[in-house]
Amino acid sequence: MEPHVPKLPRFDVIIAGGGFVGLALALALAKLAPAGYRVALIDAEAPDAGKDDPRASALSASTRRLLTVLGVWPALHSEAQPITSIEITDSPLNSSLRPHFLGFDRDDETGDSGASMVENRHLRAALQETTRAEPAVETFAPDSASDFRVTPFGVTVTLAGGDEIEAGLLVAADGKRSGLRERAGIKCVGWSYPQTGIVTTVAHAKPHHGRAVQHFLPGGPFAILPLKGYCSSIVWSEDKSRGEAIMTLDEASFVAELTKRFGHRLGAIALAGPRQSFPLDLQIARTFVAERLALIGDAAHAVHPLAGQGLNIGMRDVAALAEILVEGARLGLDPGTASLLQRYERWRRFDSAFSAAVMDGLNRLFSNDNLALRALRDLGLGLVDRAPQLKRFLVREAAGTTGEVPRLLKGERV
């Protein structure tokens, strides 16, 4: 008599990674797939992690529409600060005058295409709370996917604690250092920048009126992004050695360096949160899929943060993959079917690579002190500022409303 082999817990999809994109995909599948669809969400962090995250995210109009369909936006709306205008300048660090070369405001947009700033702690809490209410999602946390193997009928995932679960498809949402991508043998194209990223939150004496500012400085772009009240989020790219030295300064000296870049338009500033630094790099996976595996978010692509588009590009992955899997489930297809995964890759890889190339090109063009280049780029910015149709196209591109747009990003249910 053969020994009894216990049956493993079975799901339709296993999502490894409980960040924003992993949570959003789990929620989308739970809300939109046919009854009986089961999702496992593996989150390396405890449920209450992220409460002290000092970072904030710019949510494009399309991301906001997706969150509205998923029932997340009502919990976030009161915490969101609309970006009413964007000002772009290009000048040396010690310049006393920072001329305005390019600006965007509500007059350049249609409908609700403007972005909103939300603190990461509020976004994570809203996504977690909404996901916990979905009986179709079973969360394993804190835990991680240590390995996986493809079987004739699915994929078996080994958890860090030694337990195993199985599904038709494994989705790697485990970040730009994705262990699952590495185990699948998927290589990446990319490089590191000679820059350090610095993020913090500042309080200021005067109201920002919803204005976001992008200063292109020789060391890298410096963004001032409006938050609720008299606060702004700072996303600061700096020459690597200088950035590392700045991070070692005491608070008063750090604020002095910050003020050189921030300017005095909003009055005196003070730190309103911790400061963090991180290396900057570009990374695109050579393929977004393998047998019974799909990559989303930073596991598939990591871009320079100068335009704050990393999260929005990841949410485009969520919307596309959710639409494909939900339509497949209604037809009774296995979620790991190669044709579904190939459709996802065709839909997302070019757009992701294009976005990464644009961010890379802008960073290289502006992160220098070459006088001839400055004259050319400032001329280009001025011409764009006087071309309303081109400005509207750029706004739509940033809002995620160009090309083949998944229905969730239009605010439509799948």
* Span 101-131, pLDDT tens digits: 444 555 444 455 578 999 999 999 999 999 9
pTM exceeds 0.85 for this model: yes
CATH fold of 10-84+118-190+281-368 reads FAD/NAD(P)-binding domain (3.50.50)
SS3 for the chain, per residue?
Answer: CCCCCCCCCEEEEEEECCCHHHHHHHHHHHHHCCCCCCEEEECCCCCCCCCCCCCEEEECHHHHHHHHHCCCHHHHHHHCEECCEEEEEECCCCCCCCCEEEEEEHHHCCCCCCCEEEEHHHHHHHHHHHHHCCCCEEEECCCCEEEEEEECCEEEEEECCCCEEEEEEEEECCCCCCHHHHHCCCCEEEEEEEEEEEEEEEEECCCCCCEEEEEEECCEEEEEEECCCCEEEEEEEEEHHHHHHHHCCCHHHHHHHHHHHHCCCCCCEEECCCCEEEEEEEEEECCCEECCEEECHHHCEECCHHHCCHHHHHHHHHHHHHHHHHHHHHCCCCCCCHHHHHHHHHHHHHHHHHHHHHHHHHHHHHCCCCHHHHHHHHHHHHHHHCCHHHHHHHHHHHHCCCCCCCHHHHCCCC
Task: List the domain boundaries for the chain.
Answer: 10-84+118-190+281-368
Q: What is the pLDDT along the chain (414 residues), one digit of tens a residue?
A: 445 456 789 999 999 999 999 999 999 999 999 999 999 999 998 877 666 777 899 999 999 999 999 999 999 999 999 999 888 877 666 655 555 544 455 544 445 557 899 999 999 999 999 999 999 999 999 999 999 999 988 999 999 989 999 999 999 999 999 999 999 999 999 989 889 999 999 999 999 999 999 888 888 889 999 999 999 999 999 999 999 999 999 999 999 999 999 989 999 999 999 999 999 999 999 999 999 999 999 999 998 886 678 899 999 999 999 999 999 999 999 999 999 999 999 999 988 887 877 777 666 666 656 555 555 555 454 444 444 554 454 555 555 555 679 999 999 999
